[in-house]
A and B are shown apart, each in its own frame.
Chain A
Amino acid sequence: MDGSVKTHLQTFEDEAAAEPGDGDVFFDSLKKKRSSRVKQIWAIGGGKGGVGKSLLSSSLAISLAKTGGKVVAVDLDLGGANLHTALGVELPVQTLSDFFANRTTSLNDVVVPTGIPDLSIISGAQDAVGVANLPGAMKLNLLQNLREIDADYVVLDLGAGTSYNTLDFFLFSDIGVITLLPEPTSIENAYRFIKSAYYRRLRLSQNLASIRPLIDMALDAKNPKGIKSPSDLFREVNNTNPEAALRLKEEIEKFRPKLVINQARTQTDIDIGFSVKTVCKKYFGIEMDYVGYLDYDSAVWQSVRRKRPLILEFPNSKLVSSIERITQYLLKRHGNTRNDLFGE
């Protein structure tokens, strides 16, 4: 993991040097667009591929649309888009590619109905080679436009991995859901995702500008102060600048990803969610909200093969009830949460 963190640091520096997209300019331009139509943006990520991000995104989107709101699902798995398939839609003619290629200036022009009431989709870019490495200016443009979509809820299906694009989409959302399978590879990638998003969030927070050098140090495994974990970072800040430590604590506590365990087969699998929550509190100092789990269900594979949304194909299955409960819970408990990382 140290190796990858080091790589991130290098990437970050490269990116920061090359793009004007980070730092204050980034925030200022986003701040102006706060009064938007969209009530909430939900993002579904999780680090590893094949953990059910598209399944969960499409199901949450359908479930949200059923509760009465107007929903647009956005495929942000740049370079691996297939949310349309999970929603049972043929690849639309209009996709994000058109937006990125400046063939249109509004995301609303690439919104395509799915045939499901109140649910539309913005399909992922298909053609442009290299779109997976979205340049900073384009990312900024996309983020600005997400809140202008004509919908109550926008659901983002994120790609695998911990690229800055993916992390920023996750951090930009009002509700960020991490999904993982109860197996070591998935958990390892989920932790890497949380760790990357966590440090990126602290790095981007304007309240912590004064301790940015220390945060950067935490990303460098061989730093001179021996900061190896978030608690090391906190202790170091607390020793040198208690006032900044208070702000750091606040910022840490604002990061509250939600957790969904997918493909749970046993009670032990279900319990992993609680253990991950406990471990995250200890290691990162964050309150992760374990919002639910999905049973392992072979019906999912049947429905994927038939290219039909699970939630419509098996409306009476346990899985669908679980998804609906997760949706209800998120609305109830976090329905008014607004992300303030990018200014309020």
Chain B
Amino acid sequence: MSFTDSEKSYYEILEIAPTADSDEIRAAYQRAKSAYKKDSVALYSLMSEDESIELLRQIETAYRVLSDDGRRVEYDRKIGKAPAAAGRVASPFDVTEDDGAKVISIDRVPPMEDVSDDENILVAPSTDFTANAARAAREERRESRFDPSPNETSSRYNPTLQGGGAQAQGQAPTPLRASEPVRVAAFREASPTGERRSGILGIQHPTDSFNEQPLKEEIARETEWRGAFLRKVREARGTPLEELSEYTKIGKTYLIAIEEENYAKLPAPVYLRGFLIQIGKYMKLPPDALSQAYLARLNAWLNSDKNKLRA
């Protein structure tokens, strides 16, 4: 890949390897957006506003394509055919294809979190900047997270996180109040004693893989697909409502109504079904299971309401 911006691949723009999975793409997108956003203090004195706007534009374009499996396949086919510029040296300013799997760590936790005192300091750490090593490191951390020993590590893992679906079972399908706490959000908040998240306890961050693994397991077990759960997943992944709205083309009012199960404000089931499928696709949740479970609840409510009216 050569140097000028017009020839840069979407992978280079997001600084990820062409083999990156959807989680890595999303994390890279959020990282890049945060670095180049307007008022980003990290740009101060180094890049002009025009440059950052242009970078943001490229980042958005790249993400639109790479986050969509169909368009990504098409794009890969296209750039696969493009011949590499001959006689040029790959730029050090981007991750390039000849770097192979070399990719900047997607973790948003400084690596000091990974170092435990009992490890042999002469052994190279696993947090290498390669996709595979990064994945291995995530696995490793995930295991340490589930370590039941009563140390700080285990306190990171909040078992109430798992309770979301189970607790909801058996309840009448009443609409959720907006004030109902979403556990993951609360989990990320500062502790009640005013202590902030520290370097030892680990930072809980939306794109933090500490959060992602238990969440994945929870998603795998989910059957109810309540609005509160959808919100929990969205917040745990650090996806703002605006972003979801932008990509699914669903108005924020509807998204909020869906998450709050505010049935009175929801559109007709036929539209709602499309919305739910869009949300499922974007949030990488099973679209059909999600929409069926959600609509079943809505229909039950509509029927009971009609019954009430008749009575």
Which residue numbers of A lie inside 8 Å of B, CB to CB? 1, 67, 182-184, 187-188, 191-192, 230-231, 234-235, 238, 242, 245-246, 249, 252-253, 265-267, 270-279, 281-287, 289-295, 318, 321-322, 324-326, 328-329, 331-333, 335
Asked if B45 is at the interface (CB within 8 A of a chain A CB), the reply is yes
| Residues in B neighbouring A272, C-beta threshold 8 A | 41-42
A278 and B117 contact, CB distance less than 8 A: no
Query: Chain B 184-206 against A: per-residue CB contact (8 Å), 1 yes, 0 no?
Result: 00000000000011111001010
| Residues in B neighbouring A277, C-beta threshold 8 A | 104
B92 and A188 contact, CB distance less than 8 A: no
Asked if B244 is at the interface (CB within 8 A of a chain A CB), the reply is no
The 7 nearest A-B residue pairs measured at CB: A275-B42, A322-B199, A285-B92, A325-B112, A292-B112, A275-B35, A278-B35
A322 and B198 contact, CB distance less than 8 A: yes
| Residues in A neighbouring B44, C-beta threshold 8 A | 184, 187-188, 191
**Complex partner residue of B3 from A231, A274, A290, CB under 8 angstroms:** A231
The dominant DSSP class at the A interface is helix
Asked if B113 is at the interface (CB within 8 A of a chain A CB), the reply is yes
Tell me whether A328 and B92 are in contact in the complex, defined as CB-CB below 8 angstroms, given that A184-B44, A271-B108, A275-B40 are known contacts: no
CB nearest to A292 among chain B residues:
B112
B91 and A234 contact, CB distance less than 8 A: yes
Asked if B20 is at the interface (CB within 8 A of a chain A CB), the reply is no
B47 and A283 contact, CB distance less than 8 A: yes
User: How many angstroms from the CA of A232 to the CA of B150 in the assembled complex?
Assistant: 54
Which residue numbers of B lie inside 8 Å of A, CB to CB? 3-4, 15, 31-32, 34-36, 40-47, 55, 87-93, 104, 108, 110-115, 117, 119, 121-125, 127, 129, 196-200, 203, 205
Tell me whether A249 and B89 are in contact in the complex, defined as CB-CB below 8 angstroms, given that A276-B42, A331-B121 are known contacts: yes
| Residues in B neighbouring A318, C-beta threshold 8 A | 198-200
The dominant DSSP class at the B interface is loop
CB nearest to B106 among chain A residues:
A274
A279 and B125 contact, CB distance less than 8 A: no
CB distance from A173 to the nearest CB of B (A): 19
A–B complex contacts, Cβ < 8 Å, 19 sampled: A187-B42, A188-B44, A191-B46, A231-B3, A242-B89, A249-B90, A253-B92, A278-B42, A279-B47, A287-B104, A289-B111, A290-B111, A293-B199, A295-B196, A321-B200, A328-B117, A329-B111, A333-B127, A335-B122
B199 and A274 contact, CB distance less than 8 A: no
| Residues in A neighbouring B90, C-beta threshold 8 A | 249
Tell me whether A293 and B45 are in contact in the complex, defined as CB-CB below 8 angstroms, given that A238-B89, A274-B34, A285-B93 are known contacts: no
